[in-house]
């Protein structure tokens, strides 16, 4: 029997890159997966179809997880499909959106970055926590930027991920007595569309060259750690923020 057979998992931002790898990784271990997306419907359907191709169960649900009504609809669709118990939440949705200096920031950009990266994490946990019980696992996606302030023009992104890191620790203490574990990952340079869009090739080559393993990480390597944290094999790990950056930086 697979490690997550009979479990229900919700993955926000599950349509591509790290979210897609996580969704597929959880499904391969037997979890029924809700693949959340906002704009990438085709990617979400592709992820669901891949899961179904190896006999897994999954649905795609559109929801802007920075919106509380949308999160509540995501919960309703999850319950409708898989029942009123959720075992695994992966808060993966997030974005940098643009690189801006302090003087280029405005209120609307602040709201966008903080809402997608932090508000979403808070309220997805709030809405779904009543469906979780002993043995539940919440995995949040923070970032190496939360450790080191991020690259140029990513101050709000780094700060929002720093908030995720701190909130993870707080919720580990609050939800731990209920048997629900809360951990986070802090990925470094991972080969994704995120870096295709926002990181120059010369910067990527420079960072990979400084990394002790001399390469970028893969979405699947991040997903493998998420799967481990979702299983009972990690049952005494709570409140941890795991660096996954090839040894480039240490907490």
Q: What is the pLDDT of residue 114?
A: 98
Across residues 36-56, what is the average pLDDT? Answer: 97
Strand ranges (E), the chain? 8-11, 32-37, 58-62, 88-91, 137-141, 181-187, 241-244
Q: Using one digit for the tens of pLDDT, what is the confidence trace for 60-81?
A: 999 999 999 999 999 999 999 9
Residue 198 confidence class, pLDDT cut points 50, 70, 90: low
Spell out the domains of the chain, with CATH numbers in brackets.
Answer: 8-188+221-244 (3.40.50.720)
CA–CA distances in Å: residue 218 to residues 83, 129, 222: 33, 30, 7
Residue with tokens 């697979």: 2
Residue 248 confidence class, pLDDT cut points 50, 70, 90: confident
Q: What is the pTM of this model?
A: 0.94
Cα 54 to chain center, whole Å? 23
Q: Using one digit for the tens of pLDDT, what is the confidence trace for 223-245?
A: 999 999 999 999 999 999 999 98
37 is catalytic: no
Please report, rounded to a whole number, the percentage of residues in the chain having pLDDT higher than 70.
Answer: 97
Q: What is the C-alpha to C-alpha distance for residues 174 and 81, in angstroms, rounded to an integer? A: 29
Where does residue 235 rank: exposed (0-12), middle (13-18), buried (19+ CB within 10 A)? exposed
CA terminus-to-terminus distance, the chain: 36
Which of 37, 110, 157, 228 is flagged as catalytic?
157
Q: Please, which contacts does 74-81 make with residues 24 or more away whose CB atoms are closer than 8 Å?
A: 74/10, 74/34, 74/36, 74/124, 74/127, 75/127, 75/128, 75/131, 77/34, 78/8, 78/10, 78/34, 78/128, 78/131, 79/131, 81/32, 81/34
């Amino acid at each position: 029997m697979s490690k997550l057979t009979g479990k229900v998992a919700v993955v926000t931002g599950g349509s591509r890159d790290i979210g897609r790898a996580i969704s597929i990784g959880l499904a391969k271990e037997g979890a029924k997966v809700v693949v959340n997306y906002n704009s990438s419907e085709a990617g979400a359907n592709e992820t669901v179809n891949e899961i179904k191709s190896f006999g897994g169960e999954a649905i795609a649900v559109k929801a802007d997880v920075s919106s509380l009504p949308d999160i509540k609809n995501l919960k309703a669709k999850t319950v409708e499909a898989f029942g009123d118990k959720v075992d695994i939440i992966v808060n993966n949705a997030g974005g940098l959106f643009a690189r801006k200096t302090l003087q280029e920031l405005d209120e609307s950009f602040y709201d966008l970055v903080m809402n997608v990266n932090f508000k979403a994490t808070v309220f997805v946990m709030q809405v779904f926590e009543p469906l979780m019980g002993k043995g539940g696992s919440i995995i949040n996606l923070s970032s190496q930027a939360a450790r080191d302030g991020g690259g140029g023009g990513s101050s709000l992104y780094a700060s929002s991920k720093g908030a995720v890191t701190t909130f993870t620790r707080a919720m580990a203490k609050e939800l731990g007595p209920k048997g629900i574990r809360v951990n986070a990952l802090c990925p470094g340079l991972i080969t994704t569309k995120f870096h295709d869009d926002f990181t120059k090739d010369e910067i990527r080559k420079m960072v990979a060259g400084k990394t002790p393993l001399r390469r970028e990480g893969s979405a699947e390597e991040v997903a493998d750690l998420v799967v481990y944290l979702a299983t009972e094999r990690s049952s005494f790990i709570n409140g941890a923020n795991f660096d996954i950056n090839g040894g480039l930086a240490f907490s």
